[in-house]
Structure 1
Amino acid sequence: MELYENKSSKHNDSITYCLDSIFTNDQVDYRLYGNLPISTFGILINLINIIIFSHADMRRSLVNLFLLAISISDLLLLIFNFFFLLFPLIALFSNSFILYDTYPLILRYSYPLARIAQTCGVYLTLSVSVHRYLGVCHPFQAKRWITGKPVKYAIFGSVIFSFVINATTWLELTVVQCYSNEYHRFSRHIQLTELQMDYTYGIVMKVITYTLVMFIFPFLILIIVNTRIIVALKHSTNMRALNASGKSLLPKTITSPRNNQNKMAIILNSSSTTTGSQFSSTNTNSLRPIVTRAPKSISNLQSAARDSSVTMMLLAIVAMFLTCNGLAFCNNIIEILIFVDKIDNSENESAFEKSVEIANILVSLNSSTSIFIYLIFSSKYRTIVKEYLGLQNVDKAYSGTLSAATITVRHTFDYPFLMHDRISSRGYLSKSTKSRLSTTLRFPISSKHI
């Protein structure tokens, strides 16, 4: 974020005149045609996010509490940035003295509030990344450490820290009286305070504190934590694939052809009333895993897929955050070098000014595009959106076909020994026996496992 310089002039010792033009053409273009539409869109999007994450089904997840807090901080950042960056332009081009006289007061208070919201968003993103890191890389410890209270403490701690670290920003701007040549009357103007222009204060707050708190520390932690998450996720995926390839639904006790024939003979030589009991008593060890293992396997796969989706969603959020804030970090380094007189900015002032405006647009973009990540990776988010839009019946039209296909696939993999090459249905089974066997082996499948 940029500050407004002391752009007022004194024609004599008693009267201070307001400058009519305090923005360059590049600043006007970037803010009106770049930042304004993105900020307007982002405000609407974050209102939607807050409504969705406030839903009772979404509040059950601790991750969603973080995402709700991030949506609130993004909304506040966009609102305060609007009054800090865009409202002064609107006031100056409106030809309204009321807006012209009011915008310095609004800017005076929107600047520190925007800084607080930005800091809060950074550390909420950091908190949710650490939260996911513990869940992925230290799952057993996370069950004891990560509960509702620590998550709420992390959220409130981020808010309090943001207010404390930006406490001095309230003293960096002031509103002074000046005479407007355009309106031919006294008005007000914004300018920097002596504290903000103090060299020692600039070294401590800009060079050290702001750079460490807003860039070095969070960027470093986010990169380390999310790299560990990616490595753990890749390792988990490889292990799951290896486990799935080596696992068989058929127990070793029934892999022998002779064993299969003996058990099939028991079924074929028994009456229909005793087939089920004899089969279960002689094949207890082989049949029972078939009934219980399939739903458990499907449930585990669903849970793993859901956890993987949440992890990928948070990785996408962090990647978007780092990408959109990277230019602001580079601008901060350049600004530090200019401040300590290490480089001369007089020749490249226009280029640096454009870079600052582009960085502001990227910050607004980061706060405005999270809905696309949620829609891609969160099935529950999509479900609630469909519910609010009245589109929940669209999926139900295909549920019958999908359920039938799922049942067919499950029956195919639940009973693979019926497909064994050594047991021919033509040699052993008559039509009536096939029907009796099919009835005996068909088990009800709960819809919640499908």
Structure 2
Amino acid sequence: MDDSVDIYEQAALNMSIPDGCDVNRVVYASIKQLISHDIIDPSSVGFQNCEPLCGICYHGSKEWDYIRFNIIVIGIILPIVGVFGIVGNAISAFVYSRPEMRCSTNLYLFSLACSDTGVVLTGIFLFSLETFRPFSLTVARISGQLSAIVYPMGMIAQTCSVYFTVCAGVDCFVQVCLPEKVRRAFSRKETVHFLATCVVIFSVLYNVPHFFEGFVIDCYHQELGGMSKEVCPATLRYNEMYQSIYYKYMYAIFLAVGPLFTLIILNTLIIGFSVFGSSASNMDDTMSLILVVLLFICCNTIALVINIFESYLSETLGSKINYIVDLSNFLVVFNSSFNIIIYIKYSRPFADTLFSYFCNRKPITDNDGPGPPMLITEKPSRSKKCKETLSRLLVASQPEVLI
């Protein structure tokens, strides 16, 4: 082990810097550090005048089959789904912020729509923009300059989505299964604001390490003929202890397995209480809930496997892992864009409120005399309403993958 370390350090020391260049530049020291930790191959380092050539850290696939797949799925379909998701989340946030829709669960759904918008926006930037990076110097510069910042911000939005989902699921469980005194305490405005604030603070603190996983270097792009920027991984990203603790165990506990099993348990309890408790449930609602849970599990499984077994899969599948990563990234945006369809289909109050504001559909009233009309919305039973909410929630979040 010591011999191999010495070899890499010697290779870094022997890196040839062109004559007349300032050997004390930060970029040279960074490259030497990456070589000494066997993160980049010293043979891949070249220079144009005094600038390193692009491609030191970014290695796009040269396989035409994959390039075509990536352009179609990530470059074309993903932005279309993402734009739909941005509009849908904006509409969802608007509807759930209306006075007639305000309750503890819907406040969490409002927050979820906001965080999902962040997931979609950062997903389009990180994934779709990356697709066209080899073809445009402007895109390469923008992507290289901002990716190191946008990625942590996307992870913050993703973590918020996961935990707003969990909060809303817990709220549904409380409203369906627990006594009135507990329901009132949990539905207080102060409680909702406190939990929402905790989610945001936790999401920021949990993702702080991502801000230190990469750095940007200036480089010369030979194929496009101009100066560009490239993101290189910091040595922290390849630290074995960091990978094991942060990307395997903490990721599984806080972003994948933990929230997933929490939602499954809550889902099971709500269905059980609806079936065997004081409130009867509709079989169609139960079936839709089960199908939504299965969709959530499928979407999360791919990202979970990639993040936990990243090194093993990279060695085993080689370049084929790019197809799986693209599919997982697409599911990130799809999952954060699909909610409004579920809201409209399975939530009568949401659909009525939506159409009353956007389609000028007059609300049904029970006031034939003078005075302001009172909005009448068909309200399902508490268990059914919350069960519908949880079924919509379970597809709302998906851990993001970026390799």
Q: TM-score, normalised by structure 2?
A: 0.71
| 2:326 is the counterpart of 1:357 | yes
Give the partner amino acid of 1:159: V
43, 60, 74: which one pairs with 1:22? 60
Distance, in Å, in 1 between the alignment partners of 2:113 and 2:51 is 46
Which entry has the higher C-alpha Rg, 1 or 2? 1
Q: Structure 2 matches for 1:132-151, cutoff 5 A?
A: 132-140=172-180, 141-151=182-192
Counterparts of 2:333 and 2:313 in 1: how far apart (Å)? 29
Deviation track 1:348-391 (CA, whole Å, cap 9, x = no partner) reads 22443212211111121111111111112222211222122334
Are 2:276 and 1:235 equivalent residues in the alignment?
Answer: yes
Shift of 1:311: 9.6
**Cα deviations across residues 53-80 of structure 1 (Å, max 9, x unaligned)?**
1222222x11110000000010010001
SS of equivalent residue, structure 2 residue 132: helix
Residues 153 and 316 (structure 1), Cα distance of their counterparts in 2 relative to 1, 3 Å cut: farther
- 1:177 alignment partner, SS class: strand
SS at match of 2:60: coil
SS for the counterpart of 1:18 is: coil
Deviations 1:183-213 (A, max 9, x none): 4333211111111122222122112212221
Shift of 1:127: 0.9
Q: Distance in 2 between matches of 1:190 and 1:332?
A: 20
Q: Equivalent residues in 2 for 1:34-53 (5 A)?
A: 34-53=77-96
In structure 2, the partner of 1:64 is 106
Mapped to 1, the partners of 2:75 and 2:90 lie a distance apart of 22
**Counterpart of 1:392 in 2: which secondary structure?**
coil
Q: Secondary structure at the match of 1:176?
A: strand
Query: Which of residues 73, 78, 85 is equivalent to 2:115?
Result: 73
Q: Which runs of 4+ in 1 moved over 3 A?
A: 5-9, 12-15, 26-29, 308-323, 343-347, 447-450
1:333 counterpart = 2:368: no
- The 8 Å contact of residues 309 and 378 in structure 1, kept in 2 or not, is answered as no
Equivalent position SS for 2:272 = helix
In the alignment, the residues of structure 1 paired with residue 190 and residue 60 of structure 2 have an alpha-carbon distance, to the nearest angstrom, of 48
> What's the secondary structure of 1:367's corresponding residue?
helix
Distance 2:121 2:93 in 1: 15
The answer to whether 1:113 aligns with 2:153 is yes
Equivalent-residue separation in structure 1 for 2:220 and 2:284 (angstroms)? 59
In structure 1, runs of 5+ residues without a counterpart are 242-303, 401-446
Q: CA deviation at 1:130?
A: 1.0
SS in 1 for 2:337: coil
Instruction: For residue 229 of structure 2, give the secondary structure of its aligned residue in structure 1.
Output: strand
Structure 1 residues 102 and 448: alpha-carbon distance in aligned structure 2, compared to 1, 3 A threshold:
closer
Contact residue 6 and residue 191 of structure 1 kept, 8 A: no
In angstroms, what is the RMSD of aligned CA positions? 3.4
Q: 2:188 & 2:289 partners in 1: Cα distance?
A: 19
Between 1:12-21 and 1:137-146, the stretch displaced more is 12-21
* One-letter amino acid of the structure 1 residue matched with residue 200 of structure 2: V
Q: Flag the 1:88–1:354 CA change in 2: closer, same or farther, 3 A.
A: closer
* Letter matched to residue 17 of structure 1: L
Question: For residues 344 and 165 of structure 1, what CA distance do their matches in structure 2 show?
Answer: 25
Q: Does 107-116 or 310-319 show the bigger shift?
A: 310-319
Q: Is the 8 A contact 1:324 1:365 kept in 2?
A: no
Q: Structure 2: which amino acid aligns with 1:200? A: M
Maintained 8 Å contact 1:81/1:110:
no
CA change 1:388–1:448 in 2 (3 A) is closer
Count how many residue pairs are aligned between Structure 1 and Structure 2.
Answer: 324
Cα distance between partner residues in 2 of 1:349 and 1:209: 26
**CA–CA distance in 1 between the matches of 2:293 and 2:156?**
20
Distance 2:59 2:376 in 1: 66
How far is the alpha carbon of 1:21 from its aligned partner?
A: 6.2
Structure 2 portions without partners, runs of 5+: 1-38, 367-374, 379-403
1:88 aligns with 2:130: yes
Q: Which residue of 2 aligns with 1:164?
A: 205
Kindly indicate which of the two structures has a greater share of residues assigned to helix. Answer: 1
- Offset, 1:86: 1.3
